[in-house]
């Protein structure tokens, strides 16, 4: 199976409470380390699990291509992903503020038309913008089925995937015949969430994503990393959505510490009046 | 005609409550609006939608739509929007609403405003506000295309109440499925149905963290019973298997905004806070006095939860 994984570099997702606003209301992430969006890392982990035997993860039984849209600095992230196990990387050269989800989806469609993967995997949303839209738009532009909010994926001989979609209070299972677009949640990296054609159903992965071994990082320097101009993929660069100023949400002030359960109940009853 | 088309979300043959928030959004926009109820049994479900002041209620009732599949719904939604000339298509910001909306937007070549919590109308100019950066920024956006697709947060738009009247009902035939629909098949739905109120709609939510371990249910259920609360959990508690995944509150789980949120043994990772900081009152019980959850809690109790929670249950039973 050939899998295309779309990834995005973002400001350190664990420290987004440290963002600031400029005088113009633009979001300023200075001081936050750029990282790959965690859900995209989970998408890559999913792709790796689908294209290997969990008992011998050195041999890649398929092809995993990572693609990102952004400036040259993104190559460091792509190299790291090549070290983790991806075979090839593509960087579509673009300025971050010259993109919206729709343009990325149209650009990705052109990449898919060239690469002809069996599956496109993405994080269900990227950690900064949180728009949760690119996968669905891409599926529409390709005329492919989509499975979003995936908490589990089971390959049926690499011809179809049974996807467990986590929806409010329930898991809805759907079967999508490949090629398809799947967007993943964090639950996808649990030990048995991904069942590949090549791996025994009893196999349990360590919880979480894998890290690149030093040897693999060295070897990754030789793996191909292509650069494509956005204009070649999506000639119409007009944005459908433009962001203006942002606001910081009202800060919740720390309240009071109560000394015991009795005081807590009294406060809830007489002050907050919520019980 | 110009105006707003509200797409009702149906589930188990009923209108999901999030739809009422989408109606509130339409009313705030101020233009005439219609509601589209689409699904198997939509005709019956749509009856309650005629009392919200919509110009009309459109119904696509088709047995082939018994289960939610975006590739089967999107063509009709897009066609109704186009045929009616509606300039704004609004959906619920639920998992299925957010699954469907971008597909419809792409079909309509429309800009999409996801997960909107405010709308500002200034003559012909419209801006939408939405949380980003794990809820640490609220960004205003504008859409450049003539048609807008929007999904709205249930926690931020207070559910519309029926205002009386009877909007005329119009049946609309289902459009042909996307070709991709032939490659999607519903398998089954596994729901963690419980007697408790739904997390997204509960007035009180009691949430537990990983420190509850195997005693998650044993400790939290009596408290939830005493408060008539829904039960939630941190991602850590779900990942560790102490709580089922559907209870997860936070960025990849549910976003909740109850009157009272009781965080038990939850440290307050930013991904969790993103999902609950809209709560009116937050109570935190944690033995670590430095836990970040105390920075946003209205009432903090530094205590061993295995002692404090049973005490709290007792206190609630005797004094409330």
End-to-end CA distance of chain A: 56
Contacts of A187 in chain B (CB under 8 A): 238, 245, 252
Residues A175, B185: C-beta atoms closer than 8 Å: yes
Residue position matching structure tokens 């040897």: A215
- Token pair 């206190």 is at which residue? B315
Tell me what the mean pLDDT of segment B190-205 comes to.
Answer: 84
Q: Report the C-alpha gap between A78 and A63 in whole angstroms.
A: 15
**Interval B43-95: pLDDT, tens:** 999 999 999 999 999 999 999 999 999 999 999 999 999 999 999 999 999 99
DSSP string, A68-83: EEE-GGGHHHHHHHHH
> Cβ of B103 and A207 within 8 Å?
no
Give me the pLDDT at residue B193, please: 66
Closest chain A C-alpha to B280 CA, distance in angstroms: 9
Q: How far is A27 from chain B (nearest CA, A)?
A: 8
What is the rounded CA–CA span in Å between residue A43 and residue A130? 15
Q: State yes or no: pLDDT of B169 exceeds 70.
A: yes
What is the distance in angstroms between the CA of the first residue and the CA of the last residue of chain B? 54
Of all residues in chain B, the one with the smallest CA distance to A159 is B183
Report the distance separating Cα A249 and Cα B257, nearest Å: 15
pLDDT at B223: 97
Give me the torsion for CA of B290, B291, B295, B298, rounded to 10°: -110
Distance from CA of B57 to the nearest CA of A (A): 26
- Provide the shortest C-alpha distance from residue B296 to chain A (in Å): 5
Question: Does residue B29 register a pLDDT over 60?
Answer: yes
Question: What pLDDT sits at residue B114?
Answer: 98
Nearest residue on chain A to B183, alpha-carbon basis: A177
Q: How much is the pLDDT for B197? A: 86
* Interchain contact B125–A (C-beta under 8 A): no
Identify the closest residue of chain B to A248 by CA–CA distance.
B137
Q: Which has the closest alpha carbon to A241: A129, A149, A118?
A: A129
Give me the residue from A140, A145, A167 closest to B183, CB to CB: A145
**Residue from the list A16, A39, A244 with its beta carbon closest to the beta carbon of B136:** A16
Position A169 scores a pLDDT of 81
With CB atoms and an 8 Å threshold, state whether B277 touches A169.
no
Does the CB of B281 have a partner CB in chain A at under 8 Å? yes
* Contact with chain A for residue B187, Cβ under 8 A: yes
B245 touches chain A (CB under 8 A): yes
Q: Tell me the torsion sign for CA atoms B3, B19, A240, B142.
A: positive
What residues in A contact B277, CB-CB < 8 Å? 249, 252
CB contact under 8 A, B102 and A171: no
Instruction: Give A139's contacts in chain B (Cβ within 8 Å).
Output: 103, 180
**Interface membership of B204 toward A (CB under 8 Å):** yes
For B137, the closest of A19, A143, A269 (CB atoms) is: A19
Q: Is the pLDDT assigned to residue B1 strictly greater than 80?
A: no
Map tokens 């998992």 to a residue.
B95
Mean pLDDT of the B150-175 span: 95
Of A128, A162, A207, the CB nearest to B132: A128
Q: Which of B284, B214, B275, B270 is nearest to B247 (CA)?
A: B275
Q: What average pLDDT score do residues B224-252 get?
A: 93
B191 against A231, higher pLDDT: A231
The β-bridge relationship of strands A146-156 and A180-184 is parallel
Tell me if B101 sits within 8 A of B16, measured CB to CB: no
CB A16 to CB B270 under 8 A? Answer: yes
Distance (Å, rounded) from C-alpha A166 to C-alpha A153? 12
Cα(A182)–Cα(A186) distance, rounded to whole angstroms? Answer: 13
Which of A137, A260, A261 lies closest to B102 in CB terms?
Answer: A137
Residue with tokens 């697709």: B149
Below-70 pLDDT ranges, chain A: none
The values of phi and psi at residue B188, to 5°, are -165, 165
Chain B CB contacts of A39 below 8 Å: 252
ipTM of the complex as predicted: 0.94
Average pLDDT over residues B142-168: 95
SS (H, E, C) chain B: CCCEEEEECEECCEECCHHHHHHHHHHHHCCCEEEEEEECCHHHHHHHHHHCCCCEEEEEECHHHCCCCHHHHHHHHHHHHHHHCCCEEEEECCHHHHHHHHHHHHHCCCEEEEEECEEEEECCEEEEEEEEHHHCEEEEEEECCCCEEEEECCCCCCCCCCCCCCCCEEECCCCCCCHHHHHEEEEEEEECCCCCCCCCCCCEEEEECHHHHHHHHHHHHHHHHHHCCEEEECHHHHHCCCCCHHHEECCCCECCCCCEEEEECCCCCHHHHCCCCCCCEEEEEECCCCCHHHHCCCEEEECCHHHHHHHHHHHHHHHC
Q: What is the CA radius of gyration of chain B?
A: 21
For A261, residues 6+ apart whose C-beta sits below 8 A from its C-beta are B301, B303, B308, B311, B312, B315
DSSP structural state of residue A194: E
- Is-contact A256 B296, C-beta < 8 A? no
């Amino acid at each position: 199976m050939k899998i295309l994984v779309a990834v995005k570099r973002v400001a350190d997702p664990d420290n987004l409470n440290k963002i600031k606003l400029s005088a113009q209301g633009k979001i300023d992430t200075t001081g936050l380390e750029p990282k790959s969006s965690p859900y995209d890392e989970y998408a890559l982990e999913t792709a790796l699990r689908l294209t290997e035997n969990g008992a011998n993860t050195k041999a890649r039984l398929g092809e995993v291509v990572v693609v990102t849209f952004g400036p040259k600095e993104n190559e460091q992230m792509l190299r790291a992903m090549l070290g983790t196990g991806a075979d090839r990387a593509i960087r579509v050269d673009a300025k971050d503020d010259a993109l919206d989800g729709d343009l990325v989806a149209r650009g990705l469609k052109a990449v898919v038309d060239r690469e002809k993967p069996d599956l496109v995997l993405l994080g269900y949303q990227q950690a900064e913008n949180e728009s949760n839209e690119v996968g669905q738009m891409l599926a529409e532009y390709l005329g492919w089925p989509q499975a979003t909010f995936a908490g589990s994926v089971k390959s049926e001989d690499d011809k179809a995937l049974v996807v467990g979609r986590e929806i409010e209070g329930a898991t809805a299972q759907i079967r999508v015949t490949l090629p398809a677009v799947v967007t993943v949640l964090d639950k996808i990296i649990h030990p048995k969430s991904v069942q590949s054609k090549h791996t025994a159903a009893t196999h349990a992965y360590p919880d979480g994503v894998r890290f690149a071994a030093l040897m693999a990082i060295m070897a990754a320097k030789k793996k191909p990393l292509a650069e494509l101009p956005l204009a070649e993929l999506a000639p119409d660069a007009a944005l459908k959505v433009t962001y203006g100023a942002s606001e910081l949400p009202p800060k919740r002030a720390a309240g009071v510490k109560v000394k015991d359960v009795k005081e807590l109940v009294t406060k809830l009853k007489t002050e907050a009046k919520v019980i | 005609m110009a105006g707003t088309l509200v797409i009702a979300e149906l589930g188990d043959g009923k209108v999901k409550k999030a739809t009422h928030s989408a109606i509130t959004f339409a009313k705030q926009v101020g233009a005439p609006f219609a509601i589209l109820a689409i699904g198997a049994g939509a005709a019956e479900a749509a009856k309650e939608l005629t009392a919200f002041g919509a110009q009309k209620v459109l119904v696509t009732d088709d047995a082939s739509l018994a289960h939610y599949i975006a590739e089967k719904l999107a063509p009709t939604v897009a066609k109704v929007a186009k045929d009616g000339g509606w300039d704004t298509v609004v959906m619920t910001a639920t998992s299925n609403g957010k699954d469907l909306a971008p597909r419809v937007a792409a079909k309509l070549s429309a800009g999409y405003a996801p997960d909107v919590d405010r709308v500002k109308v200034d003559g012909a100019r419209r801006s939408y506000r939405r949380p980003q950066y794990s809820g640490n920024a609220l960004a205003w956006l504008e859409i450049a295309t003539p048609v807008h697709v929007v999904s709205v947060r249930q926690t931020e738009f207070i559910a519309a109440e029926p205002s009386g009247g009877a909007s005329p009902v119009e049946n609309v035939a289902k459009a042909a499925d996307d070709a991709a629909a032939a490659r999607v098949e519903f398998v089954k739905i596994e729901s963690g149905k419980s007697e408790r109120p739904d997390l997204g709609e509960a007035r009180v939510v009691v949430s537990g963290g990983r420190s509850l371990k195997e005693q998650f249910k044993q400790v939290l259920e009596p408290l939830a019973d005493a408060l008539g609360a829904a039960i939630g959990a941190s991602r850590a508690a779900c990942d560790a298997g102490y709580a089922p995944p559907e209870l997860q509150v936070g960025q990849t789980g549910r976003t909740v905004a109850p009157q009272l949120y009781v965080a038990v043994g939850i440290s307050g990772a930013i991904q969790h806070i993103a999902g609950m900081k809209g709560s009116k009152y937050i109570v935190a019980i944690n033995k670590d006095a430095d836990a970040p959850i105390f920075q946003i809690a209205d009432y903090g109790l530094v205590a061993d939860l295995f002692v404090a929670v049973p005490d709290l249950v007792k206190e609630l039973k005797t004094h409330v």
